[in-house]
């Protein structure tokens, strides 16, 4: 059997997906430059699955390094997570974001073409629905972005669409993730951001373990049931399983297919804080502050296409998402 090259496989979503691929019997190779992760996560994937991973410490923009992997290994498909992902930082450093995310994808596609490798699964994002579409988001809505990070996702989807049109045998699935949270049940892998977290869940987790003082709730005057922002939080293990289904779909279907991976259900910031309080067993201090620039009121998926095409749907509950996140935080208060 050919192997799956997982770019960014040491990161949060990539590491969980490697576990699911290995447990489904697919051998994986990981390429990661460890710019936002640690090699320890590779060791822990091996510990969970009891299976080995060939790890390449390399940058995806390094054409020779990527060619070397394709020369040494029989690569059947590429699952592409590697990229920079902090929205605020992308506004400060647009060139770094375009350079890393777009050029990295160019190099992968170019080397895939060179070696006749035709299967690609890409980490897209619900951010491609922009500011103007009504919820729930459906895959055929127009895409747009409000920041350089979001534009890299919109642009890469377009590149994949064009690449598939030029090679009728190529297949690319763009998985539009909603808000991945939680951690593997073992507590061995999870989200381990550098510095102060930007996203809600790792922030709540660090307040829960006492590393941060209190949560700032960014606005309570949105047109939502309790006034705080609503998002479609999805357990990272559910999300990871969606990649196994997507790769099997790509095996059978040519062309470009964008698919939402979400639960189809929205949860507010206050609901999330209270769910986490139940998981960790104590109150979490929070204060209402002003809105964060660029945030929208509400984002959740129409999850029916994933069910229809991939026979995939999310199974984990808000309770298990919080419990698994808390388990990881307790076992790894200082990260991996």
User: How near is the Cβ of 297 to ligand UFG at its closest, in Å?
Assistant: 8
Choose, from 129, 149, 233, 249, the residue flagged as catalytic: 149
Q: Tokens for 150, please give them.
A: 């979001």
Q: Name the one residue in this structure whose structure tokens are 């988001």.
A: 137
Interacting stretch for ligand UFG, rule CB under 6 A, among 31-39, 60-68, 188-196, 215-223? 215-223
One character per residue 218-237, x = contact with ligand UFG (rule: CB under 6 A):
x----------x-x------
State which residue, 18 or 215, has the beta carbon closest to ligand NAD. 18
CA distance 232 to 35: 27
Q: How many residues bind ligand UFG (CB under 6 A)?
A: 20
Residues 309, 249: contact at Cβ < 8 Å? yes
Residues 145, 128: contact at Cβ < 8 Å? yes
Residue 37 interface partner, choices ligand UFG, ligand NAD, none, CB cut-off 5-8 Å depending on type: ligand NAD
Residue 203 interface partner, choices ligand UFG, ligand NAD, none, CB cut-off 5-8 Å depending on type: ligand UFG
- Locate all alpha helices (DSSP H) within 73-228, ordered by sequence: 87-92, 94-97, 104-115, 148-166, 200-208
Distance of CA 77 to the CA centre of its chain: 18
The partner residues of 171 in beta bridges, in order of sequence, read: 119, 255
Q: Tokens for 46, please give them.
A: 């091996």
Query: Does residue 216 belong to the site contacting ligand UFG (CB under 6 A)?
Result: yes
Residue 12 interface partner, choices ligand UFG, ligand NAD, none, CB cut-off 5-8 Å depending on type: ligand NAD
Residue 290, preceding bond cis, omega within 30 degrees? no
Q: Which helix (H) or strand (E) holds 329?
A: helix 318-331
CA nearest neighbour of 179 among 76, 37, 325, 49: 325
- Locate all alpha helices (DSSP H) within 126-217, ordered by sequence: 148-166, 200-208
Query: Does residue 178 belong to the site contacting ligand UFG (CB under 6 A)?
Result: yes
CA distance 82 to 121: 12
State which residue, 252 or 290, has the beta carbon closest to ligand UFG. 290
One character per residue 224-263, x = contact with ligand NAD (rule: CB under 6 A):
----------------------------------------
Distance of CA 114 to the CA centre of its chain: 27
Residue 229 interface partner, choices ligand UFG, ligand NAD, none, CB cut-off 5-8 Å depending on type: ligand UFG
User: How near is the Cβ of 127 to ligand UFG at its closest, in Å?
Assistant: 3
C-alpha separations of 295 from 145, 146, 175, 292 in Å: 12, 10, 21, 6
Span 1-60, contacts to ligand NAD by CB under 6 A: 7-8, 10-14, 31-37, 59-60
For the beta carbon of residue 252, count every other beta carbon within 10 angstroms.
7
149 annotated active-site: yes
CA distance 181 to 184: 10
One character per residue 195-214, x = contact with ligand UFG (rule: CB under 6 A):
---xxx--x-----------
Q: How many helices, marked H, and strands, marked E, lie in the chain? A: 12, 14
One character per residue 105-144, x = contact with ligand UFG (rule: CB under 6 A):
--------------------xxx-----------------
Name which position in 4, 45, 60, 87 contacts ligand UFG (CB under 6 A): 87
Which residues lie near ligand NAD (CB under 6 A)? 7-8, 10-14, 31-37, 59-61, 81-85, 100, 104, 123, 125, 177, 179-180
Which residues lie near ligand UFG (CB under 6 A)? 85, 87, 125-127, 177-179, 198-200, 203, 216-218, 229, 231, 269, 292, 295
| Catalytic residue IDs | 149
């Amino acid at each position: 059997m050919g192997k799956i090259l997982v770019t960014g496989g040491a990161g949060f979503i990539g590491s969980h997906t490697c576990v699911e691929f290995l447990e489904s019997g697919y051998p994986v190779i990981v390429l990661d430059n460890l710019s936002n992760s640690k090699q320890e996560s590779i060791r822990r994937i091996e510990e969970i699955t009891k299976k080995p991973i060939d790890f390449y410490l390399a940058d995806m923009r390094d054409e020779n390094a990527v060619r070397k992997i394709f020369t040494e290994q029989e690569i059947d498909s590429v699952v592409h997570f590697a990229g920079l992902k902090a929205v605020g930082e992308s506004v400060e450093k647009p060139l770094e974001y375009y350079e890393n995310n777009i050029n990295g994808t160019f190099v992968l596609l170019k080397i895939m073409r060179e070696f006749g490798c035709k299967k690609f699964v890409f980490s897209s994002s619900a951010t491609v629905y922009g500011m103007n579409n009504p919820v729930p988001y459906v895959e055929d809505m127009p895409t747009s972005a409000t920041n350089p990070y979001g534009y890299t996702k919109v642009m890469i989807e377009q590149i994949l669409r064009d690449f598939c049109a030029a090679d009728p045998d190529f297949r690319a699935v763009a998985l539009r993730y909603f808000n991945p949270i939680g951690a593997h049940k073992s507590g061995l892998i999870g989200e381990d951001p550098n510095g102060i977290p930007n996203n809600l869940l790792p922030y709540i987790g660090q307040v829960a373990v006492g590393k941060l003082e209190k949560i700032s709730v960014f606005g309570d005057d949105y047109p939502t049931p309790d006034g705080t922002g609503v998002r479609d939080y999805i357990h990272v293990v559910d999300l990871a399983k969606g990649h196994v289904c997507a790769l099997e779909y790509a095996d059978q279907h040519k062309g470009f297919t964008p698919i939402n991976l979400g639960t189809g259900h929205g949860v507010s910031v206050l609901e999330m804080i209270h769910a986490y309080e139940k998981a960790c067993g104590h109150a979490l201090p929070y204060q209402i502050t002003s809105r964060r620039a660029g945030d929208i009121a509400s984002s959740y998926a129409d999850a029916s296409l994933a069910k229809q095409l991939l026979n995939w749907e999310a199974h984990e509950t808000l309770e298990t998402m919080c419990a698994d996140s808390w388990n990881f935080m307790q076992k790894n208060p200082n990260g991996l």
